[in-house]
Amino acid sequence: MKSTAILLIAASLSLISFRSDKPAYRLYDAEGRTVKYQKMIETISTADVVFFGELHDNPIAHWLEYEVTADLHEAVGGKLILGAEMFETDDQLVIDEYLSEKYEADKFEAEVKLWKNYRTDYKPLVEFARNNGLPFIATNIPRRYASMVSRKGLEVLDSLTAEAKALVAPLPISYDPELKCYKDMMSMHGMPAMGGKPNTNLPKAQAVKDATMAHFIISNLEAGETFIHYNGAYHSENYLGIIHYLKIYRPGISVVTITTVLQDDIDTLTSDNTGLADFIVAVPSTMTRTY
């Protein structure tokens, strides 16, 4: 009896210890099975393009972006290209000059259109590229052109100069309103309206971003190299968004996706988060936000 009681106490203490564990994230595969981080690195190192879908204000996603980039860089023998939604195509010249050490960070940061969380969340990635002699590609459409599309539709891009069109995916840009990622935007709560009606151009503005990012990924992807792209999770979840256009521009391209989700309980992956990507980073919903 005494030994049984000791075993029960030990088991209870072990359970309490397990429950008090507070992991910052758990990693799952598309089917919702837990997967080792190193297994993910081995898998993504075989792809042509790796998408890391982030939640822009999530510190775990940003930390993992850096760690994944560093480990992927080692896994592919340095044959790595970095690219991001957070930089617009008309900033590429300044980025290239900074990476080639033409001037220091203060000059670079004064010239480029930076997101407000650049210094904490994206600067480490840019500096990694600079320190390792890697390209960093600005893939996103200049926001002024996306704004034009959200007001007047895709046809407005035809009015751009040849110089401006070079900063956007080749025209005309195909658009499928039935694609889940665009159709869902029309039903999102708080969808901006024009004239009292839902703005059907807003998903088109999303599409022109996706198409432009896909185009500039393809344009800068060198044979034998891996391209890792950082973007908001919605741009690559369900293998849609950017990936939809990527496969139009280059059928057969090898893609692996990572996405980030918030859950109250991360011990198991919820059914609505299963299948969003090849690898799903589940983060507690109570996690601190960067802004």
Predicted confidence (pLDDT) per residue in 115-130, tens digit: 999 999 999 999 999 9
Q: What is the mean pLDDT of residues 144-172?
A: 98
Contact 242, 210 (CB under 8 A): yes
Q: What is the mean pLDDT of residues 225-250?
A: 97
Predicted confidence (pLDDT) per residue in 177-226, tens digit: 999 999 999 876 455 555 567 789 999 999 999 999 999 999 999 999 99
- The answer for residues whose C-beta is within 8 angstroms of residue 38's C-beta and 6 or more apart is none
Please report the pLDDT score of residue 186 as a whole number: 85
Average per-residue pLDDT for the chain: 92
Q: What is the mean pLDDT of residues 45-72?
A: 98
Contact 28, 258 (CB under 8 A): no
Contact 85, 231 (CB under 8 A): yes
Q: Does residue 138 come out as left (phi exceeding 0), alpha (psi in the -120 to 50 range) or beta? A: beta
Please report the pLDDT score of residue 21 as a whole number: 81
CA angle 171, 240, 62 (to 5 degrees): 105
Q: What is the mean pLDDT of residues 238-249?
A: 97
DSSP label at 50? E
- The answer for residues whose C-beta is within 8 angstroms of residue 66's C-beta and 6 or more apart is 124, 125, 128
Please report the pLDDT score of residue 255 as a whole number: 98
Tokens of residue 41, six digits? 């690195």
Contact 31, 269 (CB under 8 A): no
Tokens of residue 140, six digits? 């996103």
Q: Is the pLDDT of residue 146 over 50?
A: yes
Contact 244, 210 (CB under 8 A): yes
Pairing, β 197-198 against β 193-194: antiparallel
d(CA 146, CA 154): 9
Domain ranges of the chain: 22-78+254-286
Tokens of residue 97, six digits? 């000059």
Q: Is the pLDDT of residue 15 over 50?
A: no
Contact 157, 173 (CB under 8 A): yes
Terminal alpha carbon distance of the chain: 56
Q: What is the mean pLDDT of residues 62-82?
A: 98
Please report the pLDDT score of residue 48 as a whole number: 98
Question: DSSP secondary structure string, 209-225?
Answer: HHHHHHHHHHHH--TT-
Helix (H, G, I), strand (E, B) or coil at 75: helix
d(CA 289, CA 119): 15
Predicted confidence (pLDDT) per residue in 75-103, tens digit: 999 999 999 999 999 999 999 999 999 99
The structure's pTM equals 0.90
d(CA 1, CA 7): 10
